Copies of this chain bind each other. A is one copy, B any other.
Amino acid sequence: MGELDHFLRSQLGSFEPEIRSSVEYCLDVSGKRIRPALVFFSGWRAAEPIAPALVKAAAVVEMVHLATLVHDDIMDGADLRRNRPTVARRYGADVAVLLGDALLAHAVHVAAQFPSAEICRIVSDATRKVCAGEIAQTLRRGDPAITLADYRRIIGLKTAELFRLSCQLGSRLAGFDDGFVEASSAFGQRLGSAYQMYDDLADFFGEEKRIGKTLGTDLSGGKVTLPTLVLLNKLPANERDELLEEIRGRRAPPLERRRALMSAHGVFAEVAGSVRAELEAGVALLAPWAHLEPTPLLVQLLGLLQDQVNNLSGGEIA
């Protein structure tokens, strides 16, 4: 990760002087760097130092990710991201739109430094899918007709796609054979879906300090995510209709009230179970490749996500 930070920092010089300090603010976020970790782990060769190609690919996915965060935070109207003011709060929404664009453009620029245009092709394809997922979600805010299948499709695009891309790039650039490239990509897809489910759960049940961002933004923004879908399923008919009306009318209750209702119906446990199922499916995908060096690392990463879920508290009696 030190090499990644060094590489990202070295990119600042490629931006026009007028925007360097604001780009630095976007890059300097000491985030979890899950996607770069996926690139490095999927391309792991124990006997060799980390290849420059992997560092470059990790920087590409991280920059795409940071660009989407910058744009997300405008839309969610969030104040905090990783315990700092969001870019939109710091520089205004207008500049945030453009900074996201500049980051996206630069991510592609770095992707275009690979000799084959293939890398650019898969990076831009994944980026478009991320946007499509976000758009689909935004268009369906306050739509009570959203189904579990819609939700899965949306998170598959908006989150899992970049996880998938990270694994694809790592395993491909490290020269693993097509079978493993496919399996690790599918693993990334599962991990990404699990991660988004966890994130959606944390928006209701997290602690603001630990998560580092404003909670309850999905609720207040009218985003219908997995906890709400599960709640809808569990409520008796009359309360269900009430909740649907609430969603349609975009009249979100205070976070605490919604959380209490969810706790009363065992929503936390069920969503946590869905995350676990996704993670187990991920492990199964890698089983035939247990002999390869990346596999134990990827499985370990998945364990970290499981720990994070375990750290959330549903206030439910298990």
Residues of chain A touching chain B, judged by Cβ–Cβ distance below 8 Å, are: 14-16, 18-19, 22, 67-68, 71, 74-75, 91-95, 97-102, 104-106, 108-109, 111-121, 123-125, 127-129, 131-136, 138-139, 157
Complex CA distance for A123 and B22, rounded to whole angstroms: 22
Are A102 and B18 touching (Cβ within 8 A)? no
In terms of DSSP, what is the predominant structure of the interface of chain A? helix
Residue on B nearest A150 in the bound complex, by CB: B18
User: Knowing that A102-B135, A108-B120 are A-B contacts, what are 14 other residue pairs whose CB atoms are under 8 Å apart, sorted by A's residue number?
Assistant: A15-B128, A16-B136, A18-B132, A19-B135, A94-B138, A95-B135, A97-B97, A98-B138, A101-B127, A106-B128, A108-B123, A112-B117, A112-B118, A113-B121
- Which of B71, B113, B121, B133 is in CB contact (< 8 Å) with A112? B121
- Least CB separation from A121: chain B residue: B112
In contact, B132 and A15 (Cβ under 8 angstroms): yes
Which residues from chain B contact A132 at a C-beta distance below 8 Å?
15-16, 18-19, 102
State in angstroms the CA–CA spacing of A119 and B109 once bound together.
Answer: 10
CB pair A104–B102 under 8 Å, yes or no, is: no
Chain B residue contacts of A71, Cβ below 8 A: 97-98, 101
Expressed in whole angstroms, the minimum distance between the Cβ of A137 and any Cβ of chain B is: 9
Known: A22-B135, A94-B138, A139-B95. A102 touches B117 (CB 8 A): no
Question: What is the bound-complex CA distance between A16 and B131, given in angstroms?
Answer: 10
Bound-complex Cα distance A7 to B68 (A): 28
The answer to whether A101 and B98 touch (CB under 8 A), given A108-B108, A108-B124, is no
State the CA gap A19–B134 with chains docked (Å): 10
CA distance A138 to B95 in the complex (A): 7
* Residue in B closest to A221 when the chains form the complex, CB atoms: B94
Nearest neighbor of A96 in chain B, beta-carbon distance: B97
On chain B, the residues within 8 Å of A101 by CB distance are 67-68, 71, 100-101, 104, 127, 131
Q: How far apart are the CA atoms of A97 and B134 in the complex, in Å? A: 10
Contact B109 A94 (CB under 8 A): no
**Chain B residue contacts of A121, Cβ below 8 A:** 109, 112-113
Docked-complex contact B131 and A98, CB < 8 angstroms: yes
Q: Are B104 and A136 in contact (CB under 8 A)?
A: no
User: With a CB–CB cut-off of 8 A, which chain B residues contact A135?
Assistant: 18-19, 22, 95, 98-99, 102
Q: Which of A68, A127, A132 has the most CB of B within 10 A?
A: A132
Q: Whose C-beta in chain B lies nearest to the C-beta of A134?
A: B98
Those 9 A-B pairs whose CB atoms lie nearest each other, nearest first:
A16-B132, A112-B120, A102-B131, A105-B128, A18-B136, A105-B127, A108-B124, A109-B124, A112-B121
Interchain nearest-CB distance for A312 vs B (Å): 28
Instruction: Name 24 interchain pairs, CB-CB below 8 A, sorted by A.
Output: A16-B128, A16-B136, A16-B157, A18-B139, A68-B101, A94-B138, A97-B97, A99-B131, A102-B128, A102-B132, A102-B135, A105-B124, A105-B125, A105-B128, A108-B120, A108-B127, A109-B125, A109-B128, A111-B120, A112-B118, A112-B120, A112-B124, A113-B121, A117-B119
